[in-house]
């Protein structure tokens, strides 16, 4: 459906996109996920024809569309700040894209009115057709923007942080609603977000971007369970990043030794182990395996209990259930056995995204200020 090949884009000396290739299938809902400045919005704008790449090409249904304008690509665009035409009613906003068509392509007045009312009922704004944008709430405005984008019967729907300006409750509702709408309409969609929860919940496939490059493409489950790079690991969900040594197929995190079969050929190297807090199993001495760790702090957060432990010189965060917490009677100072259900190791050499360490340094520097 959409095929971006080796797209590059620079703004001045800043490389917004660095050789990005992406393939989007018909009827798929794809999330572009990344921190700000990762190039995700630029990529979306290039797909939509609002921005043109310096090199590389964009194909729509196999045909080269790199230099085709937004209008001729037949894309629906939804913007972060709604971008509704403020001096038009809701009805006119939605109808505008149809009304301005040349006489040949333009549906009749009655048809336009029918289509607009159909769209407005679909976005559940039936009774508000004659209001002005300023009389609507944020969530309602964004739904008008969506109806407007859908009115021109686009081949692709592009959404730039569609829920970014809404409050948390409305955002949650709207994203479920977007997923349902997508399932009904089966329209190809791409949306940009920096919220990993949103990406994982709504999208069929997630594209994780960082510094103008794609770090990983995969289904939400793949992205969460098998992050390809340290960056993806840290960007998606909470994770413990622990310095370790990798020696002959084993990783040593302080006193804890874990098998790392994929590094069997590595004699001795510095590495980093990534362990999600909920993958850490805690047990009483004598009951299970693992290494001894000392509980430093316990906080009960609703359904889960977060436990801070010290393992040798490392501080580790673990998550466990309320029930397990009650069984173990966790309290600061207590010694427990700690065993990671799964962990992933990366060698420090050749690891370019040094986000973790720089974050550590940042924290230290700001402590001083």
Partner 1 sequence: MIKALIKRQTSRDENPPPALQGRGWVAEVDGDHATITLSGDWIARISGLEADAVPRILSTGAHTIAFEGSGLGQWDSALIAFLSSLRDAARTGGIALDEEGLPASARRLLALASGTIPPATRAKGKSLLVRTGLRGLGFTAEAAEVAALVGAACLRGGAAIRGRSLMRGTDLLSCMRDAGAAALPIVTVVNVLVGGILAFVGAVQLRRFGADIYVASLVGIAVVREMAALMTAIIMSGRSGGAYAATIATMQGSEEIDALRAVGIPLFDYLVLPRILALTGMMPILYLYGCAVGIFGGFVVAVATLNLSPMSFIEETRSAISGSQFGLGLAKSLTFGGLIAIAGCRVGLRAGRSAADVGQAATTAVVASIVGVIVLDAIFAICANALGI
Q: Which part of the chain contacts partner 1 (CB under 8 A), choosing from 75-83, 192-200, 228-236, 319-327?
A: 75-83
Does position 81 bind partner 1 by CB under 8 A? yes
**Segment interacting with partner 1 (CB under 8 A) among 19-27, 52-60, 82-90, 258-266:** 82-90
> Considering the complex, what minimum distance in angstroms separates the CB of residue 88 from partner 1?
9
Rule CB under 8 A: choose which of 24, 44, 120, 152 binds partner 1.
152
The Cβ-side half-sphere exposure at 364, using a 13 Å CA radius, reads 6
- Contact map string, positions 85 to 114, toward partner 1, x by CB under 8 A: xx---------xx--xx-------------
- Site size for partner 1, by CB under 8 A? 35
Please name the residue that has the structure tokens 């084993």. Answer: 250
Interface with partner 1 includes 66 (CB under 8 A)? no
Q: Answer yes or no whether residue 69 interacts with partner 1 by CB under 8 A.
A: yes
Give min distance, CB of 158 to partner 1, in A: 8
Phi-psi region of 250 (alpha: psi -120 to 50; beta: other; left: phi over 0): beta
- Cα–Cα distance for residue pair 91/329, rounded to 1 Å: 61
Q: State the alpha helices, DSSP H only, in 154-270.
A: 168-185, 196-202, 220-225, 230-235
Tokens of 342: 């799964």
Q: Is 351 in the site for partner 1 (CB under 8 A)?
A: no
CA distance 60 to 65: 6
Task: Tell me: does residue 323 bind partner 1 (CB under 8 A).
Answer: no
Residue 10 beta carbon to partner 1: minimum distance, rounded to whole angstroms: 17
Q: Which of 34, 39, 53, 76 binds partner 1 (CB under 8 A)?
A: 76
Q: Is 21 in a helix, a strand, or coil?
A: strand
Q: Which stretch binds partner 1 (CB under 8 A): 13-21, 65-73, 110-118, 211-219?
A: 65-73
As measured in angstroms, the least distance from the Cβ of 365 to partner 1 is: 6
Specify which residues 318 forms β-bridges with. 307
For 60, other C-beta atoms within 10 Å of its C-beta total 20
Q: How many C-beta atoms lie closer than 10 Å to residue 165's C-beta? A: 16
Q: Please report, for residues 174, 258, 304, the alpha-carbon distance to residue 293 in angstroms, rounded to integers and kept in the order given.
A: 43, 15, 20
Tell me which DSSP letter residue 54 carries.
S
Which one-letter DSSP state was computed for residue 88? S
Contact between 83 and partner 1 by CB under 8 A: the answer reads yes
| 3-class DSSP state of 265 | coil
**Residue 347 found at the interface with partner 1 (CB under 8 A):** no
Among 50, 170, 269, 298, binds partner 1 (CB under 8 A): 50
**Strand-pair category, 205-210 with 29-33:** parallel
Tokens 């001729």 belong to residue: 72
**x/- binding map, residues 260-299, to partner 1, per CB under 8 A?**
----------x-----------------------------
* Dihedral sign (CA 167, 173, 175, 177): negative
Q: Which of 77, 163, 191, 231 binds partner 1 (CB under 8 A)?
A: 77
- Closer Cβ to partner 1, 283 or 355, answer by number: 355
Report the SS3 class of residue 143.
helix
Of 69-77, 114-122, 205-213, 314-322, the segment contacting partner 1 by CB under 8 A is: 69-77
Interface residues with partner 1 (CB under 8 A) are: 45, 48, 50, 69-72, 75-77, 79-81, 83-86, 96-97, 100-101, 145, 148-149, 152, 243, 270, 348, 357, 360-361, 364-365, 367-368
């Amino acid at each position: 459906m959409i095929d971006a090949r080796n797209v590059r884009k620079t703004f001045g000396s800043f490389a917004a996109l660095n050789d990005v290739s992406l393939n989007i299938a018909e009827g798929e809902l794809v999330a572009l996920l990344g921190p700000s400045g990762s190039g995700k919005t630029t990529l979306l704008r290039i797909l939509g024809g609002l921005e043109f790449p310096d090199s590389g090409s964009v194909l729509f249904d196999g045909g080269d569309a790199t230099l085709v304008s937004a209008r001729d690509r037949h894309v629906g665009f939804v913007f972060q700040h709604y971008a509704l035409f403020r001096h038009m009613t809701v009805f006119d906003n939605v109808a505008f894209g149809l009304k301005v068509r040349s006489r040949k392509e333009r549906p009749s007045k009655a048809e336009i009115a029918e289509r607009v009312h159909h769209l407005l009922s679909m976005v559940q704004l039936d009774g508000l057709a004659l209001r002005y944008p300023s009389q609507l709430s944020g969530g309602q405005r964004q739904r008008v923007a969506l109806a407007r984008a859908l009115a021109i019967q686009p081949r692709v729907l592009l959404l730039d942080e569609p829920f970014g300006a809404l409050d948390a409750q409305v955002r949650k509702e709207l994203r479920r609603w977007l997923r349902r709408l997508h399932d009904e309409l089966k329209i190809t969609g791409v949306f940009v977000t920096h919220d990993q929860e949103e990406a994982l919940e709504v999208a069929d496939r997630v594209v994780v971007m960082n510094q103008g490059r794609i770090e990983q493409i995969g289904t939400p489950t793949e992205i969460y369970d098998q992050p390809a790079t340290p960056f993806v690991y840290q960007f998606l969900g909470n994770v413990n990043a622990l310095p370790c040594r990798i020696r002959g197929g084993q990783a040593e995190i302080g006193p804890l030794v874990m098998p790392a079969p994929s590094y069997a050929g590595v004699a001795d190297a510095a590495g980093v182990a990534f362990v999600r807090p909920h993958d850490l199993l805690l047990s009483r001495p004598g009951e299970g395996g693992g290494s001894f760790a000392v509980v430093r702090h316990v906080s009960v957060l609703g359904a889960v209990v977060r436990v801070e432990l010290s393992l040798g010189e490392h501080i580790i965060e673990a998550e466990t259930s309320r029930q397990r917490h009650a069984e173990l009677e966790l309290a600061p100072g207590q010694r427990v056995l700690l065993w990671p259900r799964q962990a992933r190791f990366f060698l420090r050499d050749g690891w370019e995204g040094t986000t973790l360490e720089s974050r550590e340094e940042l924290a230290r520097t700001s402590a001083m200020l």
